Structure 1
């Protein structure tokens, strides 16, 4: 018995399905490598705090996890977007570099940022891996008017209100957490910066008003109803958004970051710039 030969119609259908699958695969690849990693999201949160008098507002902008390869295009748009948010102060939570160690590009980007009360930063793991950490990086950042905090506190005044920035160095060791918490005055607003979200939160107390972290990239690739495929060390159970930390229930915010790491892709996890509006607990009439 002779074999049944495929008809022209069946061959055309097969070619159509293969061609369609290839095209969809190409479109998805382009989407997760080109569009979604640059699909910038502007997040805004209002935090009502007892330490802020009625009628006052502080505007804090957080940027995290740049993993900057080039300062052109996307990061120029980031800088312009930050400007439109009218920050009183800009806070950076680590991982500015990538394998290329593009410090010049990082400094070019930072020089485009401006805030009346200054720009403050802490280091992430990539600064250590790139071997551009510590006092060397502090000197370099000072060229862009950015103050790098290495387990230390800096005080500023914004609209007459005293604010302390408590900068933890990677990976936020317990002894430094405890020391900085002791420096958090109950008479001042206290914002703690930590690259990693998972550290000894039980050392925090009610004098710390807000903790800002990054590191996780929000998982970078997310599927609905499923946990992230991968989170780096010192992420713990923290992925993205707000959490309550320690016995004092200190607000902890985990930023999804601006760049990508390991693989240059994002899926259902857009990069973000975050604006925190700190206002009084009393409602303005």
Structure 2
């Protein structure tokens, strides 16, 4: 009887551990300070959502939407893989997005899973219809009282174009004196972002390494293999800072371990 009770408690413990690791959303805050941040954008708040992979956080995504709303964002960036190519359900994936647009302006780039569905146009049309700013190798200028910053976005290399050519297209008409923010799904392309003098990059894709080993970091990430370099947090080289979100959902391996789903906040701060 005691063995059965111990086994039962062990199973319950494992279930609770996995449930918390895959459903307890945390918020990570960063500050990006630069002379290129205009005074009128001081305190401008960016909330990043990445790699939802069709995961569900409460009825009608209530828990996720509430967490995003609580960040009080000026803009929301979605950095790819809002859907999962292995269990494609666009309507379910859009439950959260259609609520995000009521909170703040939403800017979006695709990830490899959108490309893998061969339904990129369908996804773009659905997001455009919701009022999302879709960024397929393009850029926009955000203005505040006469001052401006640039937001650019590139698609995923799985669509057949190399990162440099997509950046060339996205940045072709950009005023590089402006703070330039890039939405790009893949963090392993960091060197290319640095070579193009991007100021601030938002990326995802690595799922935090899926399984995080305390004191070491992520175990494996797509495009980087075992013990990947870019899985979570900020990375800096020359004048470029890259923020990598651990993301929210899973693909392939069904569990996140020591790797809570994450929303990222970045507050802009003007040095001047």
Indicate the TM-score class for this superposition, using the shorter chain for normalisation.
0.7 to 0.9
Is residue 91 of structure 2 the alignment partner of residue 104 of structure 1?
yes
Between 1:150-159 and 1:57-66, the stretch displaced more is 150-159
**Within 5 A, what are the aligned runs for 1:68-83?**
68-70=54-56, 72-73=58-59, 75-83=61-69
Which 5+ residue runs of structure 2 have no aligned equivalent? none
2:14 maps to 1:24: no
- CA deviation after TM superposition for structure 1 residue 130, in Å: 2.0
Flag the 1:27–1:109 CA change in 2: closer, same or farther, 3 A: same
Greater radius of gyration (CA)? 1
Q: Deviations over 1:166-197 (max 9, x none)?
A: 11110262222344355442332211011110
Shift of 1:71: 6.7
Q: What's the offset of the Cα at 1:21?
A: 4.5
Alignment-derived partner of residue 78 in structure 2:
92
Equivalent of 1:143 in 113, 129, 138: 129
Q: 116-125 or 210-219: which moved more?
A: 116-125
Supply the distance in 2 between the matched residues of 1:273 and 1:201 (Cα, whole angstroms): 24
Kindly tell me the number of residue pairs found equivalent between the two proteins: 264
Taking the aligned partners of 2:183 and 2:72, their CA distance within structure 1 comes to 20
Give the structure with the higher percent helix: 2
SS where residue 48 of structure 1 aligns?
Answer: strand
CA contact (8 A) 1:122 1:168 kept: yes
- TM-score, with structure 2 as normaliser: 0.86
Which sections of structure 1, spanning at least 5 residues, go unmatched?
1-14
Query: For residue 229 of structure 2, what is the aligned residue in structure 1?
Result: 237
Quote how far apart the aligned CAs of 1:140 are: 1.0
2:175 aligns with 185
Of 166, 170, 174, the match for 1:176: 166
User: Which residue is equivalent to 2:210?
Assistant: 220
Q: Which residue of 1 aligns with 2:37?
A: 52
The 2-side partners of 1:258 and 1:161 are apart by 34
Comparing 190-199 with 44-53, greater Cα deviation is found at: 44-53
Q: TM-score, length-normalised on structure 1? A: 0.82
Residue of structure 1 equivalent to 2:118:
131
Deviation readout 1:34-60 (Å, 9 max, x if unpaired):
222111111111111102344732111
CA RMSD after TM alignment: 2.5
8 Å contact kept, 1:61–1:275: yes
1:101-127 Cα shifts (integer Å, max 9, x gaps):
111112221110137862110001111
1:228–1:22: structure 2 CA closer, same or farther, 3 Å change rule?
farther
> Matched residues in 2 for 1:224 and 1:36: separation?
14
Going from structure 1 to structure 2, the CA distance change for 1:102 and 1:181 (only over 3 Å counts) comes to: same
8 Å CA contact retained: 1:215, 1:232: yes
